[in-house]
Amino acid sequence: MPLNPDQIAAYHRDGFVIAPGVFATEAAALQQDAERLMTLTPLMDSNNIRCRWQDHAETGECRFDCFDPVIDISPVCERIARSPLLLEMASQLYGEPAHLFKDKLIFKPSGAKGYDMHQDFISFEGFPESFLTVIVAIDPSDASSGATEVFPGYHQQGYLSPRDGMYHQLDESKVDRSKGVTLDLQPGDVAFFSGFTPHCSAPNKSTQSRRLLYLSYNAARDGGDLRASHYEFFHNWLQERYAEYGKTETYFR
C-alpha cells in the first residue's frame, strides 16, 4: 500500500500528507509494547538522556514524556521503523532510497503540556536537509488529546531560524496560526511531514495518554545511513547543553 501520486503531490505542495490505516494491523501490538515500555522504570531517570520530560499543563508537575531513541528497546517499533513499506513510502517522497535517521515514542500523558512552534530541522553539521518525519499513531490523536498541528506550504521556505547549530523555537510571527491543520489520526494511521514544516501541539486535555511513534528518515543522497553518527553527535550535544545548566551526571542507557 505505498503512496499514490495524489498523496505524493500533496506532500510536496503542503509539506505533509496523511496515509490512513497503513499499520492498522500492528496497532494492537504497538499499544501493548507501549504499555511494556512504561514499565521500564529503571530507565526513567532524569540523568538518562534517552528520556524527555514534560510539565503538566495545570499543576506544573514534571513527568516522563518520551523515549528517544526507542527502537533499541522496542522490537515492535523497530519492525515498523525499518519496515519495507515505510521505507518504500519515504523513498517515493524522495525519489530515491530512504534511511532511518531517528526514532522516538512520545507518550504525552493526560494533562501534558504541548510543544511550541518549531521546525524539526536543526542546523547541526551534516544534518540532512531531506529530513522528514513519519508519525505512526498508537492512540487516537485529535485536537483534544494534543495532536500535532502542521502549517502547510511553509516548508518551501526552508529553515526559518538562524543556522547556528542550536535548537530554536520558531518565531510565531513567521507563521499564520489560522492556517494550522490538526493531524487527526486513528491507531495505525501515518502522517508524513517535512523537516521544514512548522508544527506545534496543544496540551493533552483528554483522560488518556496520546502515544505517537515519531520516525525520521533522510534521503540516500544526504549521506546514506546516518542514524548511529546522528545519535553519537546528538548525545554529546545534549550532554554539553545539560552541563551548561550544571547537570553533569548525565548518561545514556
Ligand X SMILES: O=C(O)CCC(=O)C(=O)O
Binding site for ligand X (CB under 6 A): 106, 108, 114-115, 120, 146, 148, 199, 201, 212, 214
**Element holding 238 (H helix, E strand):** helix 227-244
- Min dist. Cβ of residue 246 to ligand X (A): 25
Q: Which CB, 177 or 221, lies closer to ligand X? A: 177
- Extended beta strands in the chain, E state: 16-19, 51-55, 62-67, 98-106, 132-137, 148-150, 181-182, 190-194, 199-201, 212-219
CA distance 219 to 127: 11
- Min dist. Cβ of residue 206 to ligand X (A): 13
- Min dist. Cβ of residue 171 to ligand X (A): 16
Strand order in the sheet with 181-182: 181-182, 148-150, 199-201
Q: Which CB, 92 or 197, lies closer to ligand X? A: 197
Q: Which CB, 106 or 136, lies closer to ligand X? A: 106
CA distance 128 to 130: 5
- Min dist. Cβ of residue 146 to ligand X (A): 5
CA distance 190 to 209: 18
Cis peptide before 75 (omega within 30 of 0): no
- Extended beta strands in 38-169, E state: 51-55, 62-67, 98-106, 132-137, 148-150
Q: Which CB, 118 or 235, lies closer to ligand X? A: 118
Q: Which CB, 62 or 243, lies closer to ligand X? A: 62
CA dihedral defined by 216, 10, 144, 117, rounded to 10 degrees?
Answer: 60
Q: Which CB, 9 or 166, lies closer to ligand X? A: 166
Whether 188 and 23 have beta carbons less than 8 Å apart is answered as: yes
Q: Which residue is nearest to ligand X (CB)?
A: 201
- Min dist. Cβ of residue 58 to ligand X (A): 17
- Min dist. Cβ of residue 217 to ligand X (A): 14
